[in-house]
Structure 1
Amino acid sequence: MVFPISNFLFFFSLMSGIMISISSSSWFGIWIGLELNMMSFIPLITIKMNSYFSESALKYFLIQALGSTLFIMSSCMFLYTPQMSPLLLLTSLLLKLGSAPFHFWFPQVMMGLTWPQAIILMTLQKIPLMMIISYLLTYPSLMLIISFSAMLSAMIGALGGLNTMQLRKIMAFSSINHMSWMLMSITISDMFWILYFFFYSIISSSIMILFNMFQAFSLSELMKLNQMNIIHTLLIPLNLLSLGGLPPFAGFIPKWMLIQLLINNKLFIPLFFLLSSSLITLYFYLRITIFFFLLMNPFSISSKPLMSSPLYFHFTPFLFFNLFLLFLPLTFMLF
């Protein structure tokens, strides 16, 4: 079991904190939801009492507590300094989100988590913070700061994953890089960042579910997998290429749409940073996938039926989601 039965109460309160934050009509209610969310996630980190989980929980608590302090202070300052308060509020949200230049804590916390905990940190924990940032777009001056944070996150997320062999750190910097795309989509359309977040969550979760199934935490452990199994040989590389946004995989769809929106809005400078960072991230995704294709034995794979693998039925939805864009051009040929 991923989490003990006793910890499902904390997971329920974590989801309740998310719902309170995104549905509250006051800053105080949003702060209560964020605090409930934070205090529910920390017990989920410390399932096993060892130094790695305790260190990650302590780092996460300190950063989130600092962000919450700035958040409630900026909320109280709205009546006195309406010009300074939104900037401080955005700073607290970017700190809690792990976006550049406040990204330093995110890879360190990720290194002490298991894969199910990393899925929660990379997906569910971003929902209320992204929603609150979308509320602040009524201030035009903050859009420039969000764009600057997005461009900085794109380059840091791309360059940070180059010289590491740890899969959790690679996924952490990948999350920082994808955060830049979501921040830019927030400045353009409220609904589009939800679409991008949906694609990002499904693809990244499918990769981390595979890593958790094989208990792989580094590239060397990933290379020790059974290369005779077609599930190992094809599913992990194709999911990584889809996460990198390589056409014709599913991860290319939201990036393609955002590129069109950035061109239509004449945001060429952020587009340059986003595209440049995507090329760099594809490099360290290809560094992982090249091992699978080089070590693949086509004769052994072809001699083993695909349906004989017990993992086939578990991963068919993820495989279909990441590859359905391959069959998308066929729909145009039918009309």
Structure 2
Amino acid sequence: MAFPISYMFFLLTLILGSAISISSSSWFGGWIGLELNMMSFIPLITLKMNSYFSEAALKYFLIQALGSALFIYASCVSISLTHLMFIFTLFALLLKLAAAPFHFWFPQVAEGLHWPQMFILSTIQKLAPMILISYLTVNVILTKMIMISAILSALVGAWGGLNLTLLRKILAFSSINHMSWMLMAISISDTFWLSYFFFYSFISLSVMMTFFKIQAFSLSTIIQSSQTSNFFPLLLSVNMFSLGGLPPFTGFVPKWILIQIMVNLNLFFTLFFLLTSALITLYFYLRMTIPFLLMSSPTMNFNTKTMQLTPTSTLLLIFTSFNLYGILLPVYSLLI
């Protein structure tokens, strides 16, 4: 799939919008960056015009416009109602993040996106709102509300992904579930949530690149591809296990660190919901990978006739190798 020059232009302005929000010293500057970010992402959605992409772009615009309106309304609240102003600001940012209970739009929009746009929506588009939310944790009431949203996101992301066969919806609910861990990290730590975010971004990139390479949008597509090649199913299995946080893959590392932090802070009640949701999400990741591993060719044939290492395949191998770094976790634990 060749990307036109306009795609790169809007991608750069999208990153610029995030940078403006992150570096801004005022809420107005943060809002300007979010608006530039939104208006740059909509043309990326409609890069290839059809009814699905147009519908996704319209839904995304309406939801983000609602969040922006709520953001502006919060700034108009009387200065004597400071708590109410910041509560509305938090709601606006949670809506833009698709964190529960404002998650309803995310799976529907994700279903109308292609894989590159799906990756941007799940990662880059969430960076600026999360940084703005981290500024609100100085207020105890808002911190408690962020924790409640984290618990709800964990439950919604886990139960919503069950019994689904469409890959983009599954990864949408997976993103909501991972959002719960990042929101919890924001509420209890100043900087660790950024580490979790970058771990999640790299792992998501490896998963979505694999889906993009084999043009998979449902479980049946993956099963069909596993019958002709063992290469991509094996890569996908490693990537999905890492995304689910299965030890000893890399995706387990940020969760393990956050679990230690929460235990030290005696946040056992919240940790119970996060761990329960992690087990449920791991179940539907395993449900995705086990069938096509069992149905793949019994002879693990990796000769050059069945597998040609194109630049894309080589890049996939590099990103997949990142998901194996978690094997070094015991060594890391001995050093600290």
Q: If the TM-score is normalised by the length of the shorter chain, which range does it land in?
A: over 0.9
Deviation at 1:297, TM superposition (A): 3.0
- Correspondence 1:281 to 2:281: yes
C-alpha distance in 2 between matches for 1:225 and 1:33: 41
Deviation at 1:222, TM superposition (A): 1.1
- Provide the secondary structure at the position in 1 that maps to 2:3: coil
Q: Is the 8 A contact 1:110 1:172 kept in 2?
A: yes
Moved more, 7-16 or 125-134: 7-16
- Provide the secondary structure at the position in 1 that maps to 2:81: coil
The aligned counterpart of 2:236 is 236
Q: Is the 8 A contact 1:227 1:233 kept in 2?
A: no
C-alpha distance in 2 between matches for 1:284 and 1:66: 32
Moved more, 137-146 or 310-319: 310-319
Cα 1:329–1:298 shift into 2, 3 Å: farther
The aligned counterpart of 2:317 is 316
- Correspondence 1:84 to 2:84: yes
Encode CA deviations 1:201-251: one digit per residue, 9 max, x unaligned: 000111001101110000011111044533223110111010000000000
Encode CA deviations 1:6-48: one digit per residue, 9 max, x unaligned: 2221111111100110111111111111111000000111112
The aligned counterpart of 2:106 is 106
Q: Is the 8 A contact 2:156 2:173 kept in 1?
A: yes
C-alpha distance in 1 between matches for 2:152 and 2:329: 34
C-alpha distance in 2 between matches for 1:303 and 1:243: 25
**In the TM superposition, what are the counterparts of 1:57-72 in structure 2 within 5 Å?**
57-72=57-72
The aligned counterpart of 1:39 is 39
Encode CA deviations 1:66-109: one digit per residue, 9 max, x unaligned: 00011011123262421210111101110111000000000000
Deviation at 1:292, TM superposition (A): 2.5
Deviation at 1:282, TM superposition (A): 0.6
Q: Is the 8 A contact 1:185 1:258 kept in 2?
A: yes
C-alpha distance in 1 between matches for 2:264 and 2:243: 25
Q: Is the 8 A contact 2:156 2:177 kept in 1?
A: yes
Unaligned ranges ≥5, structure 2 = none
The aligned counterpart of 1:135 is 135
Q: Is the 8 A contact 2:226 2:296 kept in 1?
A: no
C-alpha distance in 2 between matches for 1:94 and 1:303: 46
Q: Is the 8 A contact 2:226 2:297 kept in 1?
A: no
The aligned counterpart of 1:297 is 297
RMSD: 2.0
Deviation at 1:164, TM superposition (A): 1.0
Deviation at 1:259, TM superposition (A): 0.4
Cα 1:288–1:96 shift into 2, 3 Å: same
C-alpha distance in 1 between matches for 2:102 and 2:327: 37
Moved more, 167-176 or 66-75: 66-75
The aligned counterpart of 1:147 is 147
C-alpha distance in 1 between matches for 2:245 and 2:129: 24
The amino acid across from 2:5 in the alignment is: I
Q: Is the 8 A contact 2:186 2:193 kept in 1?
A: yes
- Provide the secondary structure at the position in 1 that maps to 2:82: coil
Deviation at 1:327, TM superposition (A): 4.5
Q: Is the 8 A contact 2:209 2:316 kept in 1?
A: no
Aligned length: 333
C-alpha distance in 2 between matches for 1:78 and 1:197: 35
Cα 1:28–1:213 shift into 2, 3 Å: same
Q: Is the 8 A contact 1:157 1:176 kept in 2?
A: yes
**In the TM superposition, what are the counterparts of 1:1-335 in structure 2 within 5 Å?**
1-77=1-77, 79-299=79-299, 301-302=300-301, 304=303, 309-311=308-310, 312-329=313-330
Q: Is the 8 A contact 1:20 1:30 kept in 2?
A: yes
Q: Is the 8 A contact 1:21 1:128 kept in 2?
A: yes
C-alpha distance in 2 between matches for 1:195 and 1:307: 38
C-alpha distance in 2 between matches for 1:197 and 1:40: 22
C-alpha distance in 1 between matches for 2:302 and 2:199: 34
Report the TM-score, using the length of structure 2 for normalisation. Answer: 0.94
C-alpha distance in 2 between matches for 1:183 and 1:37: 21
C-alpha distance in 2 between matches for 1:277 and 1:195: 21
Unaligned ranges ≥5, structure 1 = none
Cα 1:227–1:273 shift into 2, 3 Å: same
Identity value in percent:
58
Deviation at 1:333, TM superposition (A): 9.5
C-alpha distance in 2 between matches for 1:331 and 1:63: 43
- Provide the secondary structure at the position in 1 that maps to 2:323: helix
